[in-house]
Structure 1
Amino acid sequence: MKASSSPPLKLRNYTADDEEAAIELWRRTWQQAYPRIDFTERVPWWRERWRNELVPVARIVVAEMDGILEGFVTVDPKSGYLDQIVVAPEFWGSNVALMLLDAGKRISPALLELLVNKDNARAIAFYEKNGFSYVGEDVNPVSGRPVNRMRWRP
């Protein structure tokens, strides 16, 4: 019998028990993407936003492998707003982001909208490759950074 090389990645709905792992994954991933910004100091703000703004309104799907959270997506099913798609840095370039994006499209099958930092060329290319269109410029209301507004419709 051949040994399995690695356990499969599974998608499932977020539970309250995932909170610490999701917050740490957010911190670690954004720190890798923007090393000049101290995301550790932003964790209390993020925890507050996670608990009060995202968890109450968004459907959250997590990707896990062997019991370890490797990514998540948050989508407001009423507005179609995709606030976060976070993938552990060691899975960048894999199919984890696509799996999470597909889960987001299932949550809001008529429309997804998001803001993406203008300087995040890899994310912009990913969204364009997966059917999103540029629909305008904006400023992130939290960070003040310039962002592209992007939209997907089937």
Structure 2
Amino acid sequence: MKKLLTLSLLLVSLLSYSQTMTLEGSRFYIDGKRLETREARQLLNTNYQSASLFKEAKTKEAVGGFLLGFGIGLTVGDLAVGLFSDAKYPGVMTYVGVGSIAVSIPVLSGRKQRYLKAAEIYNNDHKNGKLGAVQSNLELQLVSNKNGMGFQLKF
């Protein structure tokens, strides 16, 4: 059982270095397996440039999404006020809402390119054999003592 576990651990660790990260829609995948945002962030943190691009894209997504939602909310709110009361429509809320929607478009526009660039940097680092700080701490040694011989894996 120990031999099987050791052998499978070695094979899995060797295969993990050859995986490539792709972006489909707004989700990251490694060899067809979908990654959660936290897992993608941890993998991209092995390189400073890819981590900063990922963070920029997430910030753009959050700010742009807020502006878009805020603008839609104000516009719909002013429409509801205009429909159910004698207030003048379109009002100030509609103009502010449309302005917020217009500002959100350029904010949201560059996030996918940043995600793609971050994944490309990650793939280039792993394809060229440059491993990040997290993965370079893996150590495999042959050890022996009075009970026998074996492999020691430190990570």
The TM-score normalised by the length of structure 1 is 0.24
Tell me which protein shows more strand as a share of its residues: 1
Indicate the structure whose relative CO is greater, using CA pairs within 8 Å and at least 6 residues apart. Answer: 2
The TM-score normalised by the length of structure 2 is 0.24
Tell me which protein shows more helix as a share of its residues: 2
